Amino acid sequence: MKTDYAKLGEMALARLRETADQAELVQEKLLQEILRENRDTEYGRKYSFAEVFSSDAYRKRVPVTEYPDYEAWIARMIEGQENVLTRRPVVYFCVSSGSTGEMKYVPLTEEEFTVFALYAYGIIFGMVKEYYRELPGEEVFGKIFQIGEFAKTVMPDGRMNGIRSGSYYQWLDRDGAFDASDYCVPKEVLFPDTLEDLTYVKVRFALAERGLRAIHGVFISRVAGTMQYICDNWELLLRDMEYGTVDEHIVIGERWRTFVRERLLPDPVRAKELRRLHREELQQGLIEKLWPEVRYILAIGGEHFSYYTERMREFAGKIPIHYYDYAASEGIFAVSRRINEPDSYILIPDSGFFEFLPADREPENGETTLGITELRTGERYEFLFTSRSGLYRYRMGDVLEVTDWYGQLPVVKFCYRKNQVLNLAGEKYNVQQLEEAVRRFSAATGVEVKGFCVQEELTGGPRYLVYLECGCKQIADGERVLERCFCEANCEYAGCRRLNEIGGLRIRCLPAGSFARYEKYLSAKGIPIGQNKLLRILDTEEKKSFFAALSQGEYGGSGR
């Protein structure tokens, strides 16, 4: 190993514990540093940062903002203008698809990446080492199977850009010096010239590595999908391993075919080892069977990825899962409290300045926000974020629930985004409630729902149209059962149904692999797979048309 992961993790954990004991002081100090540093920017002069000496004064002087408030400022920064929102140079523009489908560009400074390195990278190893405190570091850390890929993309002037999940690795390799020797996948595969589906390539290298110690991904849906890919293509993969070939049915470019054949010579010994595992016995404890020395899996999962989280637990067997962090294009906000504990994140007080508003209503004029230490257990809040990279009192739109405390730091779970709701008749059906309804439906019918999304349907009267990927062409009494579950999960919806303000929902079943096809569709448009969080609400005509075509068998895409 080139990196001392145990030492790196110990340092990061020590920093978190130190800030947890003085969270309010850390927040106030950080805010003053941000204001002082940016007082002579155009934004700082507009809102008189030089005259703001407390968080209370900051709340009174600076307005609450949303992305449209920054579009003109950021456009000038993209053109190369400096000292606009932040004094520090922007080294990366994080690309994100906004709620309207238009691309957003969020500026990130070098300082943002140093914080990310500490809390979204270093601290993970500290928690893993604590979990295996009886083992020496060399028995805990080793070769990593990185599921993601990090194609380098740039703005016209050469500054880096891309999705948040790939930004850190791009930054690490900004001068080409990143050492990938701790990874089982070669650097050329980690940093491809263009974004494409390289699952086959990565799996081939991973299967060849007997001593794998960790699997890293971003969203658990992608990690589980990779494990399922191994199961679905088991004989093909072992045949290619044995003979050093690349099956003709694999859809990859000729460059990658040649790369795999040259780098992975025939390995009949490893193929024979793996053939002792029968295809029908693979899924339960798959990772333990393939790589007995794997110590942990890293991926964001939990309640909002319930199907994939359960699948991942099946694949993982006894191997623990670290649910990583809570972050977005705008910054990193919290880190998972401990291994094997989903939906439980410790807010990070030195990542940015946090403010909170009650989640159940819109803020009134002059209403004061709450600070990080003023929250109450069991309550839900929308949070505002002041970043180190030029966002001030920015409404994220995320609703968090405080579940516990870590010193002076709230432990939170992500509930839903405020702007992602179905609202035909005032029912305000949010994503969390949709997922609860589908969970109830799955339990009641015994139907395994691999993916779902919902849209508002106005033809013939307002109702919900629910797309289900579940391996069934039709479900006996499915609409009646799903209707009941939707009523149970949202009482306002139930009331609207009783008053016939909303008609009975409709189900359309999708063929297997439909959501994977949607990811490929986005990828073909230049939107990387890693950015595609689970789609739940179809809020654009493009999305609606895509899934309507899938449900009618009109989509022509296929391939491994």
- Please indicate, yes or no, whether residues 380 and 246 belong to a single structural domain of this protein: no
* 531 or 455, greater pLDDT: 455
- Same domain, residue pair 163 and 279: yes
Q: Is residue 153 part of a domain?
A: yes
Domain end residue (candidates: 417, 441, 456): 417
Q: What pLDDT is attached to residue 423?
A: 86
Taking the C-alpha atoms of residue 315 and residue 310, their distance in angstroms, rounded to an integer, is 9
Predicted confidence (pLDDT) per residue in 22-78, tens digit: 999 999 999 999 999 999 999 999 999 999 999 999 999 999 999 999 999 999 999
Annotate 324-365 with three-state secondary structure: CEEEECCEEEEEECCCCCCCCEEECCCCCEEEEEECCCCCCC
> Per the domain annotation, does 338 fall within a domain?
no
Mean of the per-residue pLDDT values for the chain?
90
Rounded CA-CA distance 368/356 in Å is 9
Q: Is residue 328 part of a domain?
A: no
* Mean pLDDT calculated for residue range 7-11: 93
pLDDT category, 286, cuts 50, 70, 90?
Answer: very high
User: Which pLDDT belongs to residue 430?
Assistant: 86
CATH number at residue 469: 3.30.300
Last residue of a domain, one of 385, 417, 449: 417
State yes or no: pLDDT of 419 exceeds 90: no
What is the arithmetic mean of pLDDT over 278-296? 94
Rounded mean pLDDT, 325-342:
94
335 in a structural domain: no
Residue 340, domain member (yes or no): no
- pLDDT, residue 531, reads 47
Report whether pLDDT(556) > 70: no
Are residues 267 and 181 part of one domain?
A: yes
Q: Is the pLDDT of residue 466 over 60?
A: yes
Residue type, 49: F
Whether 98 has a pLDDT exceeding 80, the answer reads no
pLDDT digits (tens, 9 = 90+) for 343-389: 999 999 999 999 999 987 766 666 789 999 999 999 999 999 999 99
Pull the structure tokens for residue 267.
């390995």
Written as one string, the DSSP assignment of 242-297 is HHT---TT----HHHHHHHHHHS---HHHHHHHHTS-GGGSSTTHHHHH-TT--EE
CB 336 within 8 A of CB 344: yes
Same domain, 103 and 133: no
Residue ending a domain, choose from 289, 322, 355:
322
In a domain, 102, yes or no: yes
Q: For residue 526, what pLDDT is reported?
A: 67
Sign of CA pseudo-dihedral 214, 215, 218, 221? negative
Overall average pLDDT of the 390-394 stretch: 97
CB atoms within 10 A of CB 262: 9
Element (H, E) at 80: none
Q: In this structure, are 413 and 426 located in the same domain? A: no
Please report which confidence band the pLDDT of residue 528 belongs to, taking 50, 70 and 90 as the band edges.
low
Q: Looking at the structure, do residues 270 and 170 belong to the same domain, yes or no? A: yes
Q: 151 and 44, same structural domain?
A: no
Of the candidates 122, 124, 112, 128, the one whose C-alpha atom is nearest the C-alpha of residue 164 is: 112
Please count the structural domains in the chain.
Answer: 3
**In a shared domain, residues 163 and 283:** yes
Looking at the structure, tell me whether residues 198 and 180 fall in a common domain.
yes
Q: Kindly state whether residues 406 and 482 are assigned to the same domain.
A: no
What distance in Å separates the CA atoms of residue 106 and residue 162, rounded to the nearest whole number? 10
* Residue 99 banded pLDDT, cuts 50, 70, 90: very low
**What percentage of the chain carries pLDDT values higher than 70?**
95
Q: Which of 212, 84, 95, 13 shows the shortest CA–CA distance to 525? A: 95
Per the structure, the complete domain to which residue 48 belongs is given by: 17-107+345-417
Q: Is residue 185 part of a domain?
A: yes
pLDDT band at 216 (very low <50, low <70, confident <90, very high): very high
For residues 181-191, give the mean pLDDT: 94
- State yes or no: pLDDT of 2 exceeds 90: no
Mean pLDDT confidence for 217-239 = 93
Residues 192 and 314 both lie in one domain:
yes
Q: Measured on CA atoms in the order 455, 456, 458, 460, is the torsion positive or negative?
A: positive
SS3 content of the chain, % helix, strand, coil (to 5): 40, 20, 40
CA distance 152 to 158: 11
* 58 located within any domain: yes
What is the spatial distance between Cα 106 and Cα 85, in angstroms, rounded to a whole number? 11
Max Cα distance, the chain (Å): 72
pLDDT level of residue 413 (50, 70, 90 thresholds): very high
pLDDT for 533: 63
Residue-level length of the chain? 560
Give me the phi and psi of 338, to 5 degrees please.
Answer: -160, 165
Among 289, 298, 248, 245, residue whose Cα is nearest residue 267: 245
Judged against a pLDDT cut of 90, whether residue 476 lies above it is answered with no
Does residue 409 sit in the same domain as residue 455?
no
